[in-house]
Amino acid sequence: MDDNTEAQPPQQQSSVLQPTPARRITSVPLTSTNFASWSRSVRLYLGARGKLCWLSGDVAKPDGKDVSKLEQWEMDNYTILGWLFNSIDPHLYELFMFHDTA
């Protein structure tokens, strides 16, 4: 590479940087008493990956016209749901387990 060429970051297949849904994204799972600290940890984790907009609802599900966009949205959604579900105490998980979108 010569001195006039800038290095380009590698392109991601997925818009989620850590696409491992089984990952626990907080050091302590959500319980009935620690929402403030848990929420802060989740916001930091998702914000660092450019995914905070999923919590605010700013990422709309694409219509079925562009199948590749819909498939990517579904993969990202399921990954983020996995992150959240794995960061919730099992007793509270039952309250959220049937939510389909992050």
pTM: 0.73
pLDDT, residue 11, reads 47
pLDDT, residue 30, reads 95
pLDDT, residue 17, reads 53
CB atoms within 10 A of CB 88: 20
pLDDT, residue 9, reads 40
pLDDT, residue 71, reads 93
Per residue, what are the HEC states of 31-50? CCCCHHHHHHHHHHHHHHCC
Per-position b or e across 59-72, b if 16+ CB within 10 A of its CB: beeeeeeeeeeeeb
pLDDT, residue 3, reads 54
65: amino acid identity, one letter: K
Mean pLDDT by 10 residues, the chain (102 residues): 48 53 86 96 92 89 91 91 93 86 80
